[in-house]
Structures are given as structure tokens and as C-alpha cells.
Amino acid sequence: MTDFNYDIEHCLDVLQKGGVILYPTDTIWGLGCDATNSSAVKKLIQIKGKPANKGLIVLLASERDVLQYVAAPDPEVFNFLENTTKPTTVIYEHGLNVADDVLNEDGSIGIRIVKEDFCRHLIKRYKKPIVSTSANLHGQPSPQNFQSISTEVKNAVDYVVSFAQDFKNIHSPSSIIKWKNGEVFTIRP
């Protein structure tokens, strides 16, 4: 296992102080902050240049964690997720216990349960959901690896994770589905 403890410690410090991190996720590099801290979320939205009230994806480490941030999720969604091969973000109805700007206008919330080691360790140690939005300015292409992230974005955050910067793999964003009344609606394949 790669030693990323130095980065985890620095991320935890920045997140606790309401800062924004640039970090590798289970999909592409992302901008992240404490999803329960309104001022941190506003800061992230300002860096990204994204319109408010459009909702943000949050990352969690386990199915059990979803119960704290969604009112009565359908347990069948977890069976569905077990059979997916690509990281999948689920839009759940009735999000709760996060900053208002994390929620979509209809009150729904986008959550992805991560399996990748760095993110899982970070979230488990932080014990709160972490926002994950692509590390690009709004309207620009999502970065496929660290090298394709703009200097403007790198300079705007409070901490840039060193781990995985030299990985050359090309990554793509997660699939996004909406789960409603036991039915799957694909938003982004």
C-alpha cells in the first residue's frame, strides 16, 4: 500500500479549518471540502465558479453512512451498486445534514460510496462527508489526470495532495443515476 498518511493528515487539518483541498478521488481529481460546513462549500463554489443551488456530489465511505445524509433511502439501491463496475453517484431524494448548497434545488443529494483507498481513509478519519466536484473551472473540461488541472485551480485551494500526482492514467467522471421508487434513471452513463 502506498503511504499517503502525510497527505491525509494535512487534508484533515485543512478540512477542519473550513478549507478546500485538491485531491485524487476514485474517478478524477476533485476539489473537496467539508460537506457540512456552509462557508467551506461557498468557498469551493467560488473557486470553481459554479452557480449556487446546482448541488454537489459528496463522497462517503460506507452504505451505513448514507443513512445519516438521506431520509429513508431504499435499501435496494445498495444491491444495485454491488453489481456496478464503474464508480456510480446516486441522486437520492431528501438529502439532509449537509450545507444547503450541497443539495440540489429539489432537496435531493448526490452521493458516491468510494472504494479507492485514499478517499476511504480520508473520509473514515474525517468522519464527515467530503464534497467532490471536478478540479476544473465551471464550463471547462474535467481533468483526466493531475497534469491537466489548471494552475489557476491549483493556486486557489488550501492544500494540494501530493499522492497520485504522477499517475498518468486517464480517468473519467462517475456514472450518475437517480434512484426513485426502486427505478434507475441514468443521468450520466
Do 149 and 135 meet the contact criterion of CB atoms below 8 Å apart?
A: yes
Q: Is a pLDDT exceeding 80 seen at residue 157?
A: yes
pLDDT of residue 174: 92
pTM here is: 0.94
Q: What is the pLDDT of residues 99-156, one digit of tens each?
A: 999 999 999 999 999 988 999 999 999 999 999 999 999 999 998 889 999 999 999 9
Q: What structural domains does the chain harbor? A: 5-188 (3.90.870.10)
Percentage, residues of the chain above pLDDT 70: 98
pLDDT of residue 2: 54
Percentage, residues of the chain above pLDDT 90: 82
pLDDT of residue 102: 96
Q: What is the pLDDT of residues 60-85, one digit of tens each?
A: 999 999 999 999 899 999 999 999 98
